[in-house]
Amino acid sequence: MPKPKPKAKPKPPPPRETALSDDPTPALQAETFFATSLASERYAAIADAGGWASFAAPLKPGSSGKAVAALRQRLASEGDLPSGAAGGDHWDNALTAAVKHFQFRMGLRQTGVVAGATLRELNIPASVRFRQLASSAQRLAGVDFPFGPRYVVVNIPSAAVDAVENGRVVRRYTAIVGGVDHPSPEVEARIGAVNFNPTWTVPVSIIKNEIMPKMQKDPSYLAKARIRVFDGRGAEVQPGAINWASERAANYTLRQDSGA
């Protein structure tokens, strides 16, 4: 009897074509809960009314027809396109600006073309958007953070760090955040000092799940990543002296040099 074939692992979603936003509005502020709740109600109404059209193919300046007419209606329903410009089935400058505004809201590169990540975001149903907003509002309802004149917030979905002063973002940086399999923890703390070039001690889970397999394929991986290995007494160990196929490899401390 033939052996059953192992189930194929689901393909990860394609990478987002993200861009760091220049919007001075903080990702999290005292008004965020109320704004999110109102948005949730608005998207619930859109979903109850039948939602919006999906798009099968990319669209760009010069396009026309039913798909462009549906795109105009869609962007007008979300406020990206003025309601007075919702009619018509031809692509014009107003529609290009509306697509760029949609991309801006989604944290995507503002190309003015509906393709790739923009097409995928447009095809997310209104019912899903409603559930996302309702879930966010529920989480925000329990936030008791004492918003003051100065604070820092990490927007995990956007992979961005906002430094906020007097209600405006004065600095925004790209952050490295976890994925679905290794999500970033949610923490709240008072900042006493900032180290802009810290060393990084690799968590054991990353050593087991990522470093060990990579070292078996490429013994020079740690050197290229500027990661050094230390034993339990703090003495440095050469990576070549370790059997990376053994579970004992996870007992070592791996530390990435500052500024790497």
Per residue in 31-77, pLDDT tens?
A: 889 999 999 999 999 999 999 999 999 999 999 999 999 999 999 99
What does the chain come to in residues? 260
pLDDT for residue 20: 65
- Using the CB atoms, write b or e for 38-71: b if 16+ within 10 Å: ebbebbbebbeeebbeebeeebeeebeeebbbbb
pLDDT of the residue at 139: 85
pLDDT at 98 > cutoff 50: yes
- Please give the residue range of the domain that contains residue 84: 52-124
Q: Would 173 be classed as within a structural domain?
A: no
Task: For residue range 216-254, list pLDDT tens digits in order.
Answer: 999 999 999 999 999 999 999 999 999 999 999 999 999
Give me the pLDDT at residue 71, please.
Answer: 96
The predicted pLDDT at position 210 comes to 95
The whole-number pLDDT of residue 119 equals 96
Token code pair at residue 149: 């004149």
230 occurs within a structural domain: yes
pLDDT of 19 over the 70 cut: no
In the predicted model, what is the mean pLDDT of residues 184-202? 88
Q: How many domains does the chain have?
A: 2
Q: Is residue 192 in some structural domain?
A: no
Residue 110 above 50 pLDDT? yes
Final residue before a domain boundary, out of 124, 145, 160: 124
Query: What strands, in cross-sheet order, belong to the sheet with 236-237?
Result: 200-201, 253-256, 227-230, 236-237
Q: Distance (Å, rounded) from C-alpha 257 to C-alpha 233?
A: 19
Helix axis angle for 32-48 and 126-141, nearest 10°, is 150
pTM: 0.62
pLDDT reported for residue 15: 47
Which segment of 10-19, 158-167, 193-202 scores lowest on mean pLDDT?
Answer: 10-19
Last residue of a domain, one of 86, 101, 124: 124
Query: pLDDT at residue 154 above 50?
Result: yes
Local confidence band at 105 (pLDDT 50, 70, 90 cut-offs): confident
Residue 211 backbone class (left: φ over 0; alpha: ψ -120 to 50; beta: rest): alpha
Looking at 64, 99, 124, the residue that finishes a domain is 124
**pLDDT for position 145:** 85
Please tell me the predicted confidence (pLDDT) of residue 239.
Answer: 97
Tell me if 238 is assigned to some domain.
Answer: yes
* pLDDT averaged over every residue in the chain: 89
- Stretch 153-177: mean pLDDT: 89
Whole-number pLDDT of residue 183: 87
